[in-house]
């Protein structure tokens, strides 16, 4: 894998399946449109279908915008999506204190999860720059 390849098209297409709730848009660092898709079911399905063809450009934009490093964006997003209530994604990034707080509070009662969906790409990029 090329060092600047921060996101994977394959993961983008997998989470696109849940794109009617904005999953692929959150993955590629587009929280505003991700939230819009969440509340409108992918712009009534029309935006969701169009995005199938836009994933390559969203992937290239994310690869350009975010910093590659030891923390894998795709793995962190998968941890957040499926184990976020337990703080696994935060522990993976080395944020052990907040990870344990998430574990005890159910992701800060879900509000922390929402925050992390909005900011995960930036959090990973900051950690990757810090470790470089």
* pLDDT of res. 20: 83
> Are the C-beta atoms of 73 and 124 separated by less than 8 Å?
yes
> Are the C-beta atoms of 80 and 120 separated by less than 8 Å?
yes
Burial of 37: CB neighbours in 10 Å, binned 0-12, 13-18, 19+: buried
Mean pLDDT of 60-66: 96
Angstrom distance (rounded) from CA 5 to CA 128: 13
Q: 81-125: per-residue pLDDT in tens?
A: 999 999 999 999 999 999 999 999 999 999 999 999 999 999 999
Burial of 93: CB neighbours in 10 Å, binned 0-12, 13-18, 19+: buried
Query: What pTM was estimated for this model as a whole?
Result: 0.90
* pLDDT of res. 1: 43
What are the structural domain ranges in the chain? 9-65, 73-131
């Amino acid at each position: 894998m090329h060092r600047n390849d921060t996101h994977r098209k394959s993961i983008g297409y997998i989470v696109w399946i849940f794109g009617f709730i904005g999953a692929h848009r959150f993955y590629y660092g587009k929280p505003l449109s991700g939230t819009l898709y969440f509340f409108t079911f992918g712009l009534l399905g029309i935006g969701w279908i169009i995005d199938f063809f836009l994933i390559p450009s969203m992937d290239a934009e994310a690869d350009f915008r975010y910093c590659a490093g030891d923390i894998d964006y795709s793995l962190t997003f998968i941890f957040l999506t499926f184990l976020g209530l337990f703080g696994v994604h935060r522990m993976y990034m080395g944020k052990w204190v907040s990870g344990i707080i998430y574990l005890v509070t159910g992701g800060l009662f879900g509000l922390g999860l929402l925050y992390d969906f909005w900011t995960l790409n930036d959090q990973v990029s900051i950690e990757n720059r810090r470790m470089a």
